[in-house]
C-alpha cells in the first residue's frame, strides 16, 4: 500500500490529538507504519516558532503570523513529512494548509489567493491524500478550551468565522470530509476510518 498523508483539521478542542492517537493505533494494528505529527511545532525550529506564535502576551501582525506558520510548515514538510512518506510511512498530521486558509485567510483577512499561493510554495505543492475536518460549534469549542493561547483568546466571533471558513474551504478539497466532532471519540475515529482505503 502506498503510504498515506492524512490531515486532521478543525478548531481548537475538536479532539484532533485524540484522533491522531486513535488513528495511529488503528493503522499500526493493521501493520501500517505510521508517524503522527502536528503544526505548528512538528520540528525543533517549529517548536520555537510555536511558542512565539501562541504566546497570548505577544502582538503579532497578521502577515507576520502567516509567515511564521509558513516557516513552520516548510521546515516540517522538508524535514519530517516528505522523508517519512519516502520511507514508506503513512503520516497523520494535525493541521496543515487549510488552517492557514481558515485562520490567516478568513480569520485575519489576508486574501485567500495569497495564502494559497504561499501554502503551495511552502509545501512544494505536497497535498494530503485525505483531509478530515473535525467540526465543532463555536460555543462547544470555547467551552472545551481551558487555558487560552493567543488564538483562543480571540473569542466567539473569531471561532465562528473560522468554522464557517473551514466548512466552505473543505468543499474544494479532494478527499476532504466533514466529521461531527461532538460525537464520542471512538465514533469519530470509526467515521474517519470508513473513508480510508485500508485493506
The site for ligand TYD (CB under 6 A) is made up of: 12, 16-17, 38-40, 54, 69, 95, 99-100, 103-104, 151
CA distance 168 to 10: 12
Q: How far is the CB of 7 from ligand TYD (least distance, A)?
A: 10
Q: How far is the CB of 11 from ligand TYD (least distance, A)?
A: 6
Q: How far is the CB of 2 from ligand TYD (least distance, A)?
A: 25
Q: How far is the CB of 80 from ligand TYD (least distance, A)?
A: 14
Q: How far is the CB of 88 from ligand TYD (least distance, A)?
A: 26
Q: What is the CA radius of gyration of the chain?
A: 16
Nearest to 95 by CA among 11, 26, 190, 182: 11
Our CB check for ligand TYD shows the closer of 3 and 40 to be 40
Our CB check for ligand TYD shows the closer of 112 and 198 to be 112
Our CB check for ligand TYD shows the closer of 14 and 34 to be 14
Residue 142, preceding bond cis, omega within 30 degrees? no
Our CB check for ligand TYD shows the closer of 34 and 68 to be 68
Our CB check for ligand TYD shows the closer of 32 and 99 to be 99
CA distance 194 to 199: 11
Our CB check for ligand TYD shows the closer of 100 and 131 to be 100
Cβ atoms < 10 Å from Cβ of 190? 14
Q: How far is the CB of 177 from ligand TYD (least distance, A)?
A: 18
Query: 39-78 b/e with 16+ CB inside 10 Å = b?
Result: bbbbbebbeebbeebeeeeeeeeeeebbbbbbbbbbbbbe
Amino acid at each position: 500500500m502506498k503510504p498515506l498523508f492524512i490531515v486532521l483539521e478543525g478548531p481548537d478542542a475538536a479532539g484532533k490529538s485524540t484522533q491522531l492517537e486513535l488513528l495511529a493505533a488503528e493503522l499500526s494494528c493493521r501493520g501500517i507504519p505510521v508517524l503522527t505529527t502536528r503544526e505548528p511545532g512538528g520540528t525543533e525550529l517549529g517548536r520555537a516558532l510555536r511558542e512565539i506564535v501562541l504566546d497570548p502576551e505577544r502582538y503579532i501582525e497578521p502577515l507576520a503570523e502567516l509567515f511564521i506558520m509558513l516557516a513552520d510548515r516548510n521546515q516540517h514538510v522538508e524535514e519530517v513529512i516528505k522523508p517519512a512518506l519516502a520511507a514508506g510511512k503513512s503520516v497523520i498530521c494535525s493541521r496543515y494548509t487549510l488552517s492557514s486558509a481558515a485562520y490567516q485567510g478568513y480569520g485575519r483577512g489576508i486574501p485567500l489567493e495569497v495564502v494559497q499561493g504561499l501554502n503551495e510554495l511552502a509545501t512544494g505543492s505536497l497535498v494530503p491524500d485525505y483531509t478530515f475536518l473535525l467540526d465543532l460549534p463555536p460555543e462547544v469549542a470555547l467551552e472545551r478550551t481551558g487555558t487560552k493561547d493567543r488564538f483562543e483568546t480571540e473569542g466567539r466571533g473569531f471561532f465562528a468565522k473560522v468554522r464557517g471558513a473551514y466548512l466552505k474551504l473543505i468543499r474544494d478539497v479532494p478527499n476532504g470530509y466533514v466529521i461531527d466532532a461532538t460525537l464520542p471519540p471512538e465514533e469519530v475515529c470509526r467515521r474517519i476510518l470508513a473513508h480510508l482505503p485500508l485493506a
